[in-house]
A and B are shown apart, each in its own frame.
Chain A
Amino acid sequence: MYLTRDEERILDGEQGPSKKKAMELLVALGDIYKAERLISIASAQVSGASFKTIGEAGIKWLEGMSMDARATVPAMVNPLGLDMKRWRSMGISPEFHSRQERIIAAYEAMGLLPVYSCTPYLTAHKPRSGQHIAWAESSATVFANSVIGARTNREGGPSALAAAIIGKTAEYGLHLDENRVPRVQIKLEHVPEELTPIAGYLTGKIAGNRIPMVTGFRMTKDQHKSFGAAVAATGAVSMYAFEAKGGADKHGDQSYEETVEIGVSDLNRCADELKGGEEFDLVAIGCPHCSTDELREMAGRLKGKKPRGNADVWFCTSREAYAACPEAVSVLRGFGQVLCDTCMVVAPIEELYRSTATNSGKAMMYLPSLGRQKASFRTTDELLEAISR
């Protein structure tokens, strides 16, 4: 890979050991993917923020880097293992909390923004179309590539941090035009809105590592959020293409390796298979983090009702969305906890609950493995009905 003289100097350690390490990471990944050069990025988004996912080793590495490394572009962080204000009522142990605090301190020392969310594109930093960025969270990456038209690979935690420190990333994969071409067509017809995450779940499975072209399904921004999160969870792909307004094919007329139709009956069958048990001790909504619109809409449906059932309820969102709709938050708080900076995927849920119901296609992938939960898929309506009367 070609390096400029300045980049060479950083690699030689002239700007300190942490910057050298960051540059080594970018160069190693560039070599693996046969990148020709490094390119400047507009922002970074770093995963590996929950103590649950990175452990003691992660803390030590971040603390080591934070001795002398600083972010040189706007950089956000993925959700934490807890809500820093409400961790006690979540049932998180003081031991977990103290380790989580060290992780936050390391990130903040490096100048990362205190944005602990998988949806930074909604509030903190919305990239522009065509901009290169280095984001790690899979659901944010897929939204940025597919809906915004920004360009990012799905970075790993350390490589996204390295990119934040250097302000660059290696030019390969989805940064290049030739790798952004859809190869499989997914025909979705008459998808009921509440099965959007299931449509994403199936699309990701069929796509595998191929970018899908999704036709016949017009989505709102919030639908794209939950659809894309599921695509990126079940597929090894960080982008999908879809028909632009007016039905014209964004990517022109082209032939696909394969065309697969997903009908309503396929969606219903998949939703049935993911239904799981009838009993759950947690209802978890907000994977990806709820938008302000979603919080308001749920509050509108719950207003005037009374809470029902024994299950705990988590509405997971970003600090920014929480602050933007205090009235909706106060309605939702009558039915459960509205949590910021965390979610059911990265919180130590296995220490708190055994079975969880969620409306998220992405969470349905991770709750059984990472969270050791019996997981039940329910539509948003079904969940709201289960917790209210």
Chain B
Amino acid sequence: MGGVDPSTGEILDRDSGSQGRSVCDSILCFPYGRGSTVGSYAIYQLKLNGKAPAAMVNQSAEPIVATGAIISDIPMVDGIDTSLMVSGDDVLVDASNGVAEIKGVEEQCVVTSILRNNGKILILRRSGEVRSYRGQWAGVSGYIEEGESDLDAAIREVMEEANVKVADPVRRIRPESFRSGNTVWTVHAFLFDVPSRQVSTDWEHDEHKWIGPEDLPGFDLVPGLDVVVGMLLGRVNQ
């Protein structure tokens, strides 16, 4: 705080990526606040000047912003992944239930499995027949069907798309969400060790390769695959 002009509501902070926009009557989404106790009063000053945001959405609330929201009667929710929101989104905030919904944006829950054999991982190029990300390289991926657990979906997809039978994953990670256009992809990712590099792909892919994880950046990847692989293999997030 202090990054907003209290008399106009204009964002001054250059690091915000939204410099020049006004917070007035907006749904203000940002990961977390910083600054001193004076920041709470800065929010209240915006309210007094009629330039306050209509609501605030935080990844993790901290005392300065939470105090500012309460003394200013501004609805606020936290625990929301604000990286999924882009400026201009139509966001519906329900502060009583702690929910923020991005209008017109759908969440798709998918599984992605990385098969590993002797240090190499399997990536597949999506064919011209599939609906999304044609020609890009991915893990073994697919939608989680209604009533199906994510692990069951992963095992089913590995059988369908690679004709490999897997059972217990070596590792799984907390589902990661990525925004792409009007879709939020929530990826449930698994790592399976397989005894051989024998795979046969179905119509969804036209090529596959066993590569070292360090060679990933050389490929045109579906969004987020590098992050997911890094987490599955226990590397630091990029």
Residues of A at the B interface (CB closer than 8 Å) are 21, 24-25, 28-29, 32, 47-48, 53-58, 60-61, 136, 156-159
CB-based contact B66/A48 at 8 Å: no
CB pair A56 B67 closer than 8 Å: no
Contact A156 B48, beta carbon cutoff 8 Å:
no
Smallest beta-carbon distance A15→chain B, Å: 17
Q: In the bound complex, how far is the Cα of B44 from the Cα of A54, in angstroms?
A: 10
Distance between B42 CB and nearest chain A CB, rounded to angstroms:
7
* A26 closest partner in B (C-beta): B70
Nearest CB on B from A343, distance (A):
17
Considering the complex of A and B, which 6 residue pairs feature the smallest CB-CB distances, nearest first? A57-B45, A156-B37, A57-B41, A57-B44, A28-B66, A58-B41
Q: Which listed residue (A25, A55, A61, A157) contacts B37, Cβ 8 A? A: A157
**A159 contacts which of B41, B67, B78 (Cβ < 8 Å)?**
B67
Given pairs A53-B38, A61-B41, 19 additional interface contacts (CB within 8 A): A21-B70, A24-B70, A25-B71, A28-B61, A28-B66, A28-B70, A29-B67, A32-B66, A32-B78, A48-B38, A55-B41, A55-B45, A56-B48, A57-B42, A57-B45, A157-B40, A158-B37, A158-B67, A159-B67
B66 touches A158 (CB 8 A): no
Q: Is B152 an interface residue (CB 8 A)?
A: no
Chain A residues within an 8 Å CB radius of B37:
47-48, 136, 156-158
Chain A proximity mask over B29-54: 1 for CB below 8 Å, otherwise 0: 00000000110111011001000000
**Chain A proximity mask over B60-92: 1 for CB below 8 Å, otherwise 0:** 011110110111000000100000000000000
How many whole Å from B184's CB to the nearest CB in chain A? 26
Q: Is A25 a contact of B70 with CB atoms below 8 Å?
A: yes
Which chain A residue has the least Cβ–Cβ distance from B47?
Answer: A57
Q: List residues of chain A with CB within 8 A of the CB of B71.
A: 21, 25, 61, 158
> Is the Cβ of B40 less than 8 Å from the Cβ of A156?
yes
- State how many angstroms separate the Cβ of A352 from the closest Cβ of chain B: 20
**B66 adjacent to A29 (CB under 8 Å):** yes
Q: How far is the CB of A81 from chain B (nearest CB, A)?
A: 13
Given known contacts A24-B70, A56-B48, A57-B48, is B41 in contact with A32 (CB within 8 Å)? Answer: no
A4, B6: Cα distance in complex, Å: 38
Known contacts A47-B37, A48-B37, A54-B38; A156 and B45 CB within 8 A of each other: no
Residue of A nearest to B73 (CB): A21
Distance, CA A159 to CA B70, complexed state (A)? 11
A-B contact pairs, 25 of them (CB 8 A): A21-B71, A24-B70, A25-B71, A28-B67, A32-B63, A32-B66, A48-B37, A48-B38, A55-B38, A55-B45, A56-B45, A56-B48, A57-B42, A58-B44, A60-B48, A61-B71, A156-B40, A156-B63, A156-B64, A157-B37, A157-B40, A158-B37, A158-B67, A158-B71, A159-B63
Report the bound CA distance from A299 to B63 in whole Å. 43
Q: CA separation between A159 and B69, bound complex, in Å?
A: 13
CB nearest to B42 among chain A residues:
A57
Whether B45 contacts A158 by the Cβ 8 Å rule is no
Name B162-195 residues within 8 Å CB distance of A.
none
CB distance from A306 to the nearest CB of B (A): 42
Instruction: Give the residues in chain A near B61, CB-CB below 8 Å.
Output: 28, 32
Q: B40 contacts A158, CB within 8 Å?
A: yes
Q: Bound complex: CA of A25 vs CA of B17, how far in Å?
A: 30
Q: How far is the CB of A100 from chain B (nearest CB, A)?
A: 15
Minimum distance in angstroms from A106 CB to a CB of chain B = 14
- Closest partner residue, chain A, to B66 (CB atom): A28
Contact: B38 with A25, CB < 8 Å? no
Whole-angstrom CA separation of A55 from B44 in the bound complex: 11
Minimal Cβ-Cβ distance residue in A for B6? A57
Residues in A with CB closer than 8 Å to B41 are 48, 54-55, 57-58, 61, 157
- B contact residues around A28 at 8 Å (CB): 61, 66-67, 69-70
The reply to whether A25 and B67 contact each other, CB–CB distance below 8 Å, is yes
- Could you tell me the distance between the alpha carbons of A23 and B71 in the complex, rounded to whole angstroms? 11
For A159, list chain B residues within 8 Å (CB): 63, 67
| Residues on B with beta carbons closer than 8 Å to the beta carbon of A25 | 67, 70-71
Residues of chain A within 8 A (CB-CB) of B40 are 156-158
B176 → chain A closest CB, angstroms: 24
Q: With both chains docked as a complex, state the minimum distance between the C-beta of B7 and any C-beta of chain A, in angstroms.
A: 11
Which of A24, A25, A47, A57 lies at the interface centre, i.e. has the most chain B CB atoms within 10 A of its CB? A57
Q: Which of B40, B45, B69 has the most CB of A within 10 A?
A: B40
Q: Are A61 and B44 in contact (CB under 8 A)?
A: yes
- What residues of B have a CB within 8 angstroms of the CB of A58 in the complex? 41, 44
A156 touches B67 (CB 8 A): yes
* Docked pose: A55 CA to B49 CA in angstroms: 13
A60 engages B70 (CB within 8 Å): no
Q: Please, how many angstroms separate the alpha-carbon atoms of A36 and B81 in the complex?
A: 25
Which residues does chain A contribute within 8 Å of B44, judged by CB atoms?
57-58, 60-61
Cβ contacts under 8 Å, A158 to chain B? 37, 40, 67, 70-71
Distance from B95 Cβ to chain A, minimum over Cβ atoms (Å): 11
B44's closest neighbor in chain A, by CB? A57
- CA–CA, A57 and B67, complex, Å: 13
A48-B37, A55-B45, A58-B41 are known contacts. Are A32 and B70 too (CB-CB below 8 A)? Answer: no
